[in-house]
Amino acid sequence: MISDDSDLKKLSAGEMMRIIRKRKGISQLQLASSLKSYQARISRFELMTAIPTVKEQLLIEKVLNIKIWSK
């Protein structure tokens, strides 16, 4: 279990994305809609079987209000 935000930094980008998305009560479908994408694509990002484009990365960070890829 992830107890605090310092533990998040140890996770993959996909795991971090999933945990933050769930903490904020956002479904994969809602996040996909914000990106004008598909739920399956969000699932692939979280499973690390696909890598979001830079544009998608920035939008995900904006929606989730956290830095995942950018420093």
Evaluate whether residue 34 is within a structural domain.
yes
Structural domain for 59, as ranges: 11-64
Evaluate whether residue 70 is within a structural domain.
no
pLDDT at 9: 74
Evaluate whether residue 1 is within a structural domain.
no
Q: What are 41's two structure tokens?
A: 């694509």
Distance between alpha carbon 63 and the CA centroid of its chain, in Å?
9
Domains in the chain, number: 1
Which strand (E) or helix (H) includes residue 1?
none
Q: Which pLDDT band, with edges at 50, 70 and 90, does 3 fall under?
A: low
pLDDT tens-digit profile of 21-52?
999 999 999 999 999 999 999 999 999 999 99
Whole-number Å distance between alpha carbons of 65 and 1 = 21
